[in-house]
Chain A
Amino acid sequence: MPMKGKFPLRRTLRYLERGNVYLRDTVKIVTINYNTLGETHKGARDFVFYNLPQLQYKNQNVQMQTFKNLTPSPFIRCFLNDGDEVLIDIDSKSNTSILEHVKKLLGKSEDILSAERKAREKKTNPANFGREFARECICQVPGQVPCPSVVPLPKN
């Protein structure tokens, strides 16, 4: 049974997981203003159609909203934590260049992402013991030498 709708590929999990723009933690709201008619707004329309689901999938805690037919020129307006605003003019740009621009301005850089990935691995890695990890000491693992505070170690 074929998939229904315009470009149904964007309704697959694989497509959503392909998104590579992770917005910074300070970005809370992303709004996109564009018109339903007009050549200069075509890039913005394509961005909302193709890239907005990917962006929202990778940034679940960010509120994303679109406004249609409010102003004659399209733009992206982001609201940050401390009340700051970021305005991106997307007039006559293609959706790929808009995405790149957003990634450069508000996206987490590769070093930050890899550092975060390492921190996540460290936590889940069962080889790590300590206060911040799952197990504090190897004595907690069944089959290992019990804690010397509870059972004294043998004399030999």
Chain B
Amino acid sequence: MASHSSRILLGQVVQSKLRDAAKVQITRLVLDEYVMQYFPNKSKVFAFDPKKVTKVGDIVLVKELEAKRTAFITHKIEKIIYSVGNVRDPITGRRCDSKSYWDEDERKKLFEKEPEEKTGLDETFAEKRSVYEDDRMKEPIMSLDRKDWKI
């Protein structure tokens, strides 16, 4: 597939243990020559997502990076298309499920807090240099001053 200049793929985010990447499952249709029918064929791709914009189950658009970040992370999250449980119909722009469009006012009465909507477009996937820039590492687990240690 080296002939394609910018390779984009569509897939569903799947659980992964990686800290700054999302594992994306891509299904493509492959023709079975004997049965003469197209069957879905799954393949996995690791996409760079340092700010954890995607949730497990989201449908995302993934784009190939010019240079691989690591041996495994070869792509990056381009855009979140359908957020899981929070699908927005592209024709009308309203949130919906398979039966109807949601009434936003009614939902506000029923649910206090709705899940955050992230499209992934306004997030900057900036490269992080230091480990301590990470949100989780803002407060160290143990104080670094010797006098605070109670031995």
A residues contacting B by CB (< 8 A) are 11-13, 16, 28-29, 31, 35, 52-53, 56-57, 61, 63-65, 67, 69-73, 75, 77, 79, 81-83, 85, 87, 89
Contact = CB atoms under 8 A, between A and B. Distances in A.
Contacts of B59: 67
Contacts of A73: 89, 91-92
Interface in B91-134: 91-92, 96-101
13 contacts: A11-B37, A16-B36, A57-B31, A61-B4, A65-B27, A70-B82, A72-B99, A72-B100, A72-B101, A73-B92, A75-B90, A83-B78, A87-B90
Bin chain B's interface residue count.
Answer: 20 to 34
Contacts of B31: 56-57
A11 B37 CA distance: 6
Contacts of A87: 90-91
Contact of A65 (B1, B8, B10, B89): B10
B35 interface: yes
Nearest to A63: B28
Contact of B87 (A12, A71, A83): A71
Given A53-B37, A79-B61, A89-B91, A71 B8 contact: no
A39 B97 CA distance: 17
Given A28-B8, A71-B89, A73-B92, 7 more contacts: A28-B4, A70-B87, A71-B96, A72-B97, A72-B99, A73-B91, A87-B91
Interface of B: 1, 4-10, 26-29, 31, 35-38, 59, 61, 78-79, 82, 87, 89-92, 96-101
A53 B36 CA distance: 10
B100 A81 contact: no
A72 B8 contact: no
Contacts of A72: 89, 96-101
Nearest to B37: A11
Contact of B35 (A11, A31, A82): A11
A81 B79 CA distance: 14
B10 A29 contact: yes
A21 B77 CA distance: 30
Contact of B8 (A13, A64, A81): A81
A63 B5 contact: no
A77 B81 CA distance: 11
B100 A63 contact: no
